[in-house]
Structure 1
Amino acid sequence: MLLAAIRCTKIKSSICLKSPSRRYLWVSSRFVTDRAAKEEELRIFIVAGEVSGDTIGSRLMASLKKLSPVPIRFSGVGGSMMSKQGLKSLFPMDNIAVMGIWELLPHLYNFRVKLKETVEAAFMFHPHVVVTVDSKGFSFRLLKQLRGCQSKGLAATFVGHPILEDVLELNMGKEIALHEWKITGNGEDFRKTYAIPSGATVITLLPGSRLQEVTRMLPIFSNTMKLLKDSFPELVTVIHVAPNQLVDNFITRAIHKWPVPAILIPGGIPHLKYDAFNASRVALCTSGTVAMELQLARLPCLVTYRAHFLTEWVIRYKAKIPYISLPNILLDSPVIPEALFQACTPTKLASSLKELMNNTVLQQQQVVAAEKVMELICPSNRTVNNLQQQGMRWRPPIYTPSMIAASTILSYAQR
Structure 2
Amino acid sequence: MRVALVAGEASGDILGAGLMQALRAQHPTIEFIGVGGPRMEAQGLCSYFPMERLSVMGLVEVLGRLPELLARRKRLINTLIEQRPDVFIGIDAPDFTLNIELKLRRAGIKTVHYVSPSVWAWRQKRVLKIREGCDLMLTLFPFEAQFYQAQHVPVRFVGHPLANTIPLQLDRGAARLSLGLLESGSLVALLPGSRGGEVGKLGGLFLDTAELLLQARPELRFVLPCASPERREQLEALLVGRNLPLTLLDGQSHEALAACDAVLIASGTATLEALLCQRPMVVAYKVAPLTYWILKRLVKSAYLSLPNLLAGRLLVPELIQDAATPAALAAQLLPLLANGASQTREFAAIHTSLRLDASIQAADAVLALIAGQPCN
Matches within 5 A, 1:310-349: 310-349=290-329
The Cα shift of 1:337 comes to: 0.7
Matches within 5 A, 1:95-106: 95-98=55-58, 104-105=59-60
> Is the alpha carbon distance of 1:189 and 1:349 closer, same or farther for their aligned partners in structure 2, counting shifts above 3 Å?
same
CA contact (8 A) 1:52 1:289 kept: no
CA contact (8 A) 1:224 1:350 kept: yes
The Cα shift of 1:61 comes to: 2.8
Secondary structure of 1:73's counterpart equals strand
Counterpart residue number, 1:410: 367
The Cα shift of 1:95 comes to: 3.3
CA contact (8 A) 2:192 2:202 kept: yes
Counterpart residue number, 2:346: 369
> Is the alpha carbon distance of 1:341 and 1:233 closer, same or farther for their aligned partners in structure 2, counting shifts above 3 Å?
same
The Cα shift of 1:160 comes to: 1.7
CA contact (8 A) 2:17 2:40 kept: yes
Secondary structure of 1:131's counterpart equals strand
The Cα shift of 1:65 comes to: 3.2
Higher relative contact order (CA 8 A, sep 6+): 1
Structure 2: distance between partners of 1:292 and 1:230: 29
Counterpart residue number, 1:158: 157
The Cα shift of 1:213 comes to: 3.7
The Cα shift of 1:285 comes to: 1.8
> Is the alpha carbon distance of 1:218 and 1:123 closer, same or farther for their aligned partners in structure 2, counting shifts above 3 Å?
farther
Equivalent residue pairs, number: 321
CA contact (8 A) 1:44 1:127 kept: no
Moved more, 307-316 or 341-350: 341-350
> Is the alpha carbon distance of 1:220 and 1:72 closer, same or farther for their aligned partners in structure 2, counting shifts above 3 Å?
farther
Counterpart residue number, 2:29: 70
Output one character per residue of 1:197-246: Cα deviation in whole Å (capped at 9) or x when no partner: 344432223333555545544343334334434444454433345xxxxx
Q: What amino acid sits opposite 1:400 in the alignment?
A: D
The Cα shift of 1:366 comes to: 0.6
Calculate the TM-score normalised by the size of structure 1: 0.66
> Is the alpha carbon distance of 1:65 and 1:254 closer, same or farther for their aligned partners in structure 2, counting shifts above 3 Å?
farther
Structure 2: distance between partners of 1:281 and 1:130: 44
Counterpart residue number, 2:150: none
Q: Does 1:130 align with 2:88?
A: yes
Q: Does 1:187 align with 2:142?
A: no
Structure 1: distance between partners of 2:371 and 2:306: 35
Structure 2: distance between partners of 1:86 and 1:113: 26
Secondary structure of 2:279's counterpart equals coil
Counterpart residue number, 1:305: 285
The Cα shift of 1:282 comes to: 0.4
Secondary structure of 1:197's counterpart equals coil
Secondary structure of 2:187's counterpart equals strand
Structure 2: distance between partners of 1:116 and 1:221: 44
Output one character per residue of 1:238-271: Cα deviation in whole Å (capped at 9) or x when no partner: 3345xxxxx512223224333432241535xxxx
Q: Percent identity?
A: 25
Structure 2 unaligned residues grouped into runs of 5+? 107-128, 137-153
Q: Does 1:47 align with 2:14?
A: no
Structure 1 unaligned residues grouped into runs of 5+? 1-35, 37-41, 99-103, 171-181, 242-246, 379-398
> Is the alpha carbon distance of 1:341 and 1:82 closer, same or farther for their aligned partners in structure 2, counting shifts above 3 Å?
farther
Q: What amino acid sits opposite 1:404 in the alignment?
A: Q
Counterpart residue number, 1:386: none
CA contact (8 A) 2:187 2:220 kept: yes
Output one character per residue of 1:276-323: Cα deviation in whole Å (capped at 9) or x when no partner: 333211012222233222222221011222223222112212322210
The Cα shift of 1:81 comes to: 4.5
Secondary structure of 1:92's counterpart equals helix
Calculate the TM-score normalised by the size of structure 2: 0.72
